[in-house]
Amino acid sequence: SFVLTFKDHYLETENCLASVVRYASECASAEFLVVDDGSTAPGGEPLHALIKALVRVVGTDIKLIRHTKSLGYLQAVTDATRMAKGLLLVTLNNDLTLHRFCLSNMLLTFRTHPQVGLVAPRFVDETGKVLEAGGIIFNDAKGWSYGRGDVARDQHSLAP
The string of pLDDT tens digits covering residues 93-141 is 888 888 888 888 888 888 899 888 878 777 777 787 888 777 778 889 8
Is the model's pLDDT at 87 over the cut of 80?
A: yes
The string of pLDDT tens digits covering residues 17-29 is 888 878 877 776 7
Considering only residues 24 and 11, tell me which one the structure prediction assigns the higher pLDDT: 11
Burial 33-61 (b: 16+ CB within 10 A, else e): bbbbbebeeeebeebeebbeebeeeeebe
Q: How many residues does the chain have?
A: 160
The Cα 38–Cα 82 span in angstroms is 19
Quote the pTM value. 0.74
State the Cα angle at 78 between 76 and 81, rounded to 5°.
110
pLDDT of residue 153: 63
Contact 75, 39 (CB under 8 A): no
pLDDT of residue 57: 58
The Cα 31–Cα 24 span in angstroms is 9
pLDDT of residue 157: 45
The Cα 16–Cα 14 span in angstroms is 5
Q: Which of 6-10, 15-19, 117-121, 153-157 has the lowest mean pLDDT?
A: 153-157
The Cα 129–Cα 127 span in angstroms is 6
First to last CA, the chain: 27
